Amino acid sequence: MLLFDPAGAMRFVAWRGISDAYRAAVDGHTPWVAGEPGAGPIAVADILEADESDALKASVTGEGIRALAFVPLTEVGGGVIGKFMVYRAEPYTFSAEEMNLALNIARQLSFAIERTRSEERALRHSEQFEAVFDNIPVMIKLFEPQSSTLRLNREFTQVLGWTSEDARKTDLMAELFPDEELRERVRSYMDECQPGWFDVPMIARDGRQLETSWANIRLSDSSRVGIGIDITDRKLALERQLLLLREMDHRVRNLFSLASSMVRLSAREPGDRAELAADLQERLAALASAHALTTRQPGEEGGTVSLHGLVGAILTPYQRGEAVQIRILGDDIRLSGEAATSFAILIYEFATNAAKYGALSVEDGCVTVTTRRRDGRLELDWEEDGGPEVAPPPSEGFGTRLTKATVGQLGGSLERHWRPAGLSVQLLAALDRCEALDFAPKGAS
């Protein structure tokens, strides 16, 4: 017996009483092409009288064969899939009855081949399904209403914690959807198998609430397949993005408001316009620096910066060589975006005045900034030492008015003491107006 291989060549698959040399010589020989419809048996009474090549005749007669019959094997309602051969040692004319018998045998062989192939296909499809079912990185639940069987794949178990065995022992819908109203909505969606995706929160076995999205498909045998994905991280990321956008919008509005106030206060100041413009430009640059510090940290929600980090960034340009001119001590906190802008203005004002008139204007001068958390307040002390003696200004200038307005935004107060050793500033601010909500306080340094 011979069957067509996937490439359309006729190959031996079963035989008895013929040699390897004969099979090799006639391998691939066929009077039909694969799938040819309406093929009938072909009988050759004497191979020596047939219209075949001498080489083929020699191979056949060398095997002790003179008469032979080609009987097609066909698919049910289809074309040729192979053939089986009948051989006689002497010239022989096959009768109609013998050919009909051969065709009946061929039909039985064809049925058996088709059944075997169907079983192999079914097994192959089953193996493919199982491989996909348990390895695909999405949750799958398969419900067969005839047997009331619910199967859950490996991803379902990994994400939600429930197995197919658990589903047979418990009311899984009640566990996944404790809220009765939501549970009925989900059940209705599953029964109707509506097109599209359905976003729904689910409770995992360990009590966590996960955000999921599901699509349901009804198969021809009424089985239902649910395909789900865990979108918890995606939703959290989207919420963080929206929160960040709202925060940035709010902060940009505040920056414009502060910039507008600076311009308005500067316009009232007497003096050279070029000098006022340069001074205003430096203050705006400090604002820009504070804004950059609070937006360059993508790992921090809302774009936050530590108070010590902000103070250090603003004061670094005033550090001279290896001399320790600037020290930052005490409790650090992570500032909210708005508070960072306010502290940037204040520290810039303190540093600018110290560089012009105070401790940062001389080689041996030193500035110590100490911060403390106490009773719901943030305390910041600015101490200058080693600089020239300073006196209170004769009048309240632009910087002083800007400082007062900024301290007011922090819900705090500010005191200055002009000591012989240098200026001392005590700033108090409401901690809840300064600290980012997700910050865990560090100990004193």
Q: Identify the sign of the CA torsion 18, 19, 20, 24.
A: negative
d(CA 437, CA 429): 16
Task: Give the side-chain half-sphere CA count within 13 A for 364.
Answer: 5
Residue 259, pLDDT score: 65
Residue 443, pLDDT score: 41
Q: What is the helix (H) or strand (E) element at residue 80, kind and residue range? A: strand 80-88
pLDDT-derived band at 439, boundaries 50, 70, 90: very low
- DSSP tag of 49: G
Percentage of the chain modeled with pLDDT above 90: 48
Q: Which of the residue ranges 40-44, 120-124, 182-186, 368-372 would you say has the lowest mean pLDDT?
A: 120-124
Task: Output the CATH code of domain 136-230.
Answer: 3.30.450.20
Average confidence (pLDDT) over 288-295: 63
Sheet holding 139-144, edge to edge: 149-152, 139-144, 224-230, 209-218, 198-203
d(CA 338, CA 250): 9
Dihedrals phi, psi of 394, to nearest 5 degrees: -65, -25
DSSP codes, 196-218: S-EEEEEE-TTS-EEEEEEEEEE
**What topology does CATH give the domain 236-434?**
Heat Shock Protein 90 (3.30.565)
Dihedrals phi, psi of 84, to nearest 5 degrees: -125, 150
Average confidence (pLDDT) over 353-360: 86
Average confidence (pLDDT) over 264-291: 66
Residue 444 pLDDT > 50, yes or no? Answer: no
H-helix segments, 226-272: 232-268
Q: Which of the residue ranges 62-71, 73-82, 146-155, 298-307 would you say has the lowest mean pLDDT?
A: 298-307
Residue 185 pLDDT > 80, yes or no? Answer: yes
Homologous superfamily of 2-133 in CATH?
Answer: GAF domain (3.30.450.40)
| Start-end of CATH 3.30.450.20 domains in the chain | 136-230
**Residue 201 is encoded by which pair of tokens?**
């929160």
CB atoms near residue 1 (< 10 Å): 16
Residues 367-397 have pLDDT tens digits of 999 999 999 999 999 999 998 888 888 777 7
103 within 8 A of 87, measured Cβ to Cβ: no
Residue 399 pLDDT > 90, yes or no? Answer: no
Average pLDDT, the chain: 85
335 within 8 A of 434, measured Cβ to Cβ: yes
Average confidence (pLDDT) over 231-253: 76
Residues 15-28 have pLDDT tens digits of 988 999 999 998 88
Beta strands 326-330 and 366-374, pairing class: parallel
Tell me whether residue 269 is exposed, middle or buried, using C-beta atoms within 10 angstroms of its C-beta: 0 to 12, 13 to 18, 19 or more. Answer: middle
Residue 254, pLDDT score: 57
Residue 274 pLDDT > 80, yes or no? Answer: no
Average confidence (pLDDT) over 432-437: 85
Rounded to a whole number of angstroms, the CA Rg of the chain reads 45
pLDDT-derived band at 125, boundaries 50, 70, 90: confident
The distance of Cα 331 from the centroid of its chain, to the nearest Å, equals: 38
Coil vs helix vs strand at 48:
helix
d(CA 340, CA 404): 16
Distances (CA, A) of 158 to 68, 190, 205, 229, 405: 64, 22, 10, 12, 56
pLDDT-derived band at 5, boundaries 50, 70, 90: very high
Average confidence (pLDDT) over 218-241: 89
Residue 12 pLDDT > 70, yes or no? Answer: yes
| Start-end of CATH 3.30.450.40 domains in the chain | 2-133
Residue 441 pLDDT > 50, yes or no? Answer: no
d(CA 194, CA 215): 8
